Amino acid sequence: MRFISALVTGASPLLLLATPVLTLNTDPSSHCAIISLVLPGKVAFPGSESYNASGTSYFGLQGRLGPACIALPSSADDVATIVGTLAKLPDAVFAIRSGGHSPNPGWANTAHGITIDLQSLNEVHVSSDGSIASVGSGACWVDVHKVLDPLELEVIRGKFWQRGISAFSPSRGWACDNVVNFQVVLASGEIVDANDSNEYADLSIALKCGQNNLGVVTRFDLRTFRHGLYWGGNLAYPDSTGEAQLAAYITFKGPSYDPLAEIEQSFMYASSPNGSAYRSCLNTMFYAEPVVNPNGLRPFSDIQPQLFSTMRLANATAFAEELDPGQLARSTYVIHTSVTFRFTPEILPRVFAVWKDFRRRIELTRMANLTFVLTFMDIPTQLPHSRKSFGFPPNSYPDRELFLALFSLHWMDASYSSMITIEARILIRDIEDLVADADLRTHSCMRTGPPGGKIQYADMGKRV
Ligand SMILES: Cc1cc2nc3c(=O)[nH]c(=O)nc-3n(C[C@H](O)[C@H](O)[C@H](O)COP(=O)(O)OP(=O)(O)OC[C@H]3O[C@@H](n4cnc5c(N)ncnc54)[C@H](O)[C@@H]3O)c2cc1C
C-alpha cells in the first residue's frame, strides 16, 4: 500500500491507471507496458526498427540478448522517470547500456527485462571558458573529438570508442581522474551531481572504478587541456619480429621510460575460412607531443621489417577515425579478458611463451575465421590528487610497476564457443599461476581473480 501511494504521488493520469498492474504483474511485458506509459514514444519493442538498431549495435554477438523492450531516454529527466518507476517494481529486471562495447553477456543488456539504452544522451558542450567539456554518457569519443578538435582542446578519454585508457594516460592518468563531476540518477529517481567536494563525494569516488550498480550516469563533466597535433598511429610487422618486440618493450619500460609515450603491443593470430593461419605483430603507438619518431618510441619504430605504417602527426579526430572501425559492432563472438601484474623483464617472455602454447593448440584444431590477439599495455599513471576506488596504494607508480596482458578472442562459428571458452580459461589460469609463482600479483581492483572477486578491467562470464 505504501508502495502504491508513493508511486501515485506526482504520477501522470496514465500511470494512475497503471498502478493496479504494479501489484499484480511481475512479468517483463507488463513492466514494459508501464515504462511505455511513463515514457510515451521512447520504448522500442521486438520487431521495430529502433529495437533492431539498438540490439545489433552491441560490440559482440554475446551481448545481443533480446530484452522484452528497450527504453530509449533522450534526457536525464527521462532516465529519472524510468529509474523512479522501476524502483517501484521490485521484480523488474533491467540493464543499462551506453556504448554497448563491453562484450560480457548480461553486463549491458538483459534477455528477460528492460534495457535502458543511453545512446541518445550524446550531447557534448564546452563551458564558456573552455575548461570543462560536458559529455552525455551515450556519446562516443569520436563525437567528443569533433567538438573539441576545432577548439584545440583535449580530454583524457579512450583512444577509441568508449574506453578509459588513453594516449595521454601515461602522463595524465585515467579518464576517470579527469571527471570533475558526474550527473547521476540515483535509485530513487533523483538526479544529483556527484563530485569530490559535495555531499556525494563518496559516490563520485566509488564511480571511479565502481562500474554499474551505483546509479545511472547521465553526464560526465571532464577537465579539458590545450592540445593540437600529436604523433601516432599503427605500425605492423611480420610475426618473425616477435622476440624483437619483447626486447623493445623491456627497453621501453626501462630507466629511460618516457611518460609522453604510450603503446599497445599486439601479437595477432588470424585464421582464414579454410583454417589456415596468419600471424603478425602490430604496435599502436602515440606520443603526447608533436614530435616525429621520438626517442621514447624508437625501440618499436626501429624494428624491421615492417608491413605498413600509419604513423603521422594528426589530431584526435583523425586517430579516432582510423582506430574506431576496429571497435564497431561486429558479427563475431568475443572474449575480452586480461591479467594485470607487476612488471619485470623476466615475466614478459614467460607470458608470451604461454600465449604461444595456447596459439599452437588452437592452430592445430584448424578452426576457421578466428582472430586472437594478445596485447601488452601499460597502466595509466597515478595522479597525486586522484581520488578513486582502484585500490592502488598511495605513492605507488602503477604506470612503471604494473602491466596488463589483454586477450581478445573473436570467432564466428557458435559451435566453437564452448571449446574457445575452455581454452581461454586455461590460458588465464596458466598466466595467473605464472604470475603468482613469480610473486607478481597486484591487489588493486585491476587484478584478475576468481568469480565473485573484485571487479576487473575486463573479464569473461562475470556478472556485475
Ligand atoms: C575491443 C575492446 C577494447 C577495449 N579497450 C579498452 C581500453 O583500451 N581501455 C579501457 O579502459 N577499456 C577498454 N575496453 C573496455 C571498455 O572500455 C569497457 O567495456 C567500457 O565499459 C565500454 O563502455 P560502454 O559505454 O560501451 O559500456 P557498456 O558496454 O554500454 O556498459 C558496460 C557496463 O557499464 C554499465 N554502464 C554503461 N553505461 C552506464 C551508465 N551511464 N551509468 C551506469 N552504468 C553504466 C553497464 O550496465 C555495463 O555493466 C575495451 C573493450 C573492448 C571490447
Same domain, 58 and 35: yes
Cβ of 99 below 6 Å from ligand 1: yes
Residue 227 near ligand 1, beta carbon < 6 Å: no
Decide: 210 in ligand 1 pocket, CB within 6 A. Answer: no
Do 31 and 139 belong together in one domain? no
Alpha-carbon distance values, 93 to 31, 103, 275 (Å): 9, 19, 41
CA of 420 to the centre of ligand 1 (A): 23
How many angstroms separate the CA atoms of 343 and 404, rounded? Answer: 9
38 assigned to some structural domain: yes
Same domain? 61 vs 133: no
97 lines ligand 1 (CB under 6 A): yes
165: Cβ below 6 Å to ligand 1? yes
Give the Å distance between the CA of 164 and the centre of ligand 1.
8
The verdict on 84 and 197 lying in the same domain is no
CA of 279 to the centre of ligand 1 (A): 28
Q: Which neighbouring-strand residues pair with 335?
A: 409
Which amino acid type is present at position 317? Answer: T
* d(C-alpha 123, C-alpha 74), whole Å: 10
- Ligand 1: centre distance to CA 356 (Å): 28
Give burial (CB, 10 Å; 0-12/13-18/19+) of 10. exposed
Residues 174 and 305 in one domain: no
The answer to whether residue 15 scores a pLDDT higher than 70 is no
Whether 457 maps to a domain, the answer reads no
pTM for this one? 0.86
Please name the amino acid found at residue 394: P
Please indicate, yes or no, whether residues 192 and 164 belong to a single structural domain of this protein.
Answer: yes
End position of a domain, from candidates 82, 117, 152:
117
Q: How many domains does the chain have?
A: 3
- Whether 451 is covered by a domain: the verdict is no
- The closest alpha carbon to 263, from 165, 352, 377, 185, belongs to 377
What's the whole-number mean pLDDT along residues 36-43?
97
CATH number at residue 209: 3.30.465.10
Domain boundary among 67, 96, 117: 117
- Please tell me if the CB atom of residue 408 comes closer than 6 angstroms to any atom of ligand 1: yes
Residue 205 inside a domain? The answer is: yes
Quick one: 196 and 248 in the same domain? Answer: no
Inside any domain, residue 41: yes
Q: Which of 208-222, 276-290, 322-336, 401-415 has the lowest mean pLDDT?
A: 322-336
Our answer on whether the CB atom of 103 is closer than 6 Å to any ligand 1 atom is yes
One domain for residues 306 and 428: yes
164 lines ligand 1 (CB under 6 A): yes
Same domain, 244 and 311: yes
Q: Quick check: 463 pLDDT over 60?
A: no
The rounded distance, in Å, linking the Cα atoms of 254 and 248 is 10
Atom 21 of ligand 1: nearest residue by CA position: 102
Q: Are 207 and 194 in contact (CB under 8 A)?
A: yes
Read off the CATH number of the domain in which 113 is found. Answer: 3.30.43.10
pLDDT for res 118: 97
Q: Examine the fold and report which residue of 117, 149, 170 is the final residue of a domain before the chain moves on.
A: 117
Check residue 3 and give its pLDDT. 27
Q: What confidence tier does 142 reach under pLDDT thresholds 50, 70, 90? A: confident
Beta-bridge partners for 281: 237, 267
Considering the domain architecture, whether residues 392 and 352 belong to the same structural domain is answered as yes
Kindly state whether residue 448 falls inside one of the protein's structural domains: no
What dihedral do alpha carbons 298, 304, 310, 314 form, nearest 10°? 10
- pLDDT, tens digit (0-9, with 9 covering 90-100), for 353-380: 999 999 999 999 999 999 999 999 888 8
Residues 179, 91, single domain; the answer is no
Report yes or no on 190 lying in a domain. Answer: yes
Written in H, E and C, the secondary structure of 314-382 is ECHHHHHHHHHHHHCCCCCEEEEEEEEEECCCCHHHHHHHHHHHHHHHHHHHCCCCEEEEEEEEECCCC
454 within some domain: no
The domain of 256 spans 230-437
| Cβ within 8 Å of residue 442, ≥6 positions away | 340, 341, 342, 402
Q: Is the CB of 163 under 6 A from ligand 1?
A: yes
Q: What are the backbone dihedrals phi and psi of residue 267, each rounded to the nearest 5 degrees, phi first?
A: -115, 115
* Pocket perturbation via mutation, ligand 1, pick of 79, 82, 83, 96 by most ligand atoms within 8 A of CB: 96
- The lowest-confidence range among 8-22, 242-256, 441-455 is 8-22
Residues 340/403, Cβ–Cβ less than 8 Å = yes
**Closest residue CA from atom 38 of ligand 1:** 98
CB 287 within 8 A of CB 294: yes
Residues 130, 112, single domain; the answer is no
Residue that wins the pLDDT comparison between 320 and 279:
279
Mean pLDDT along residues 65-88:
97
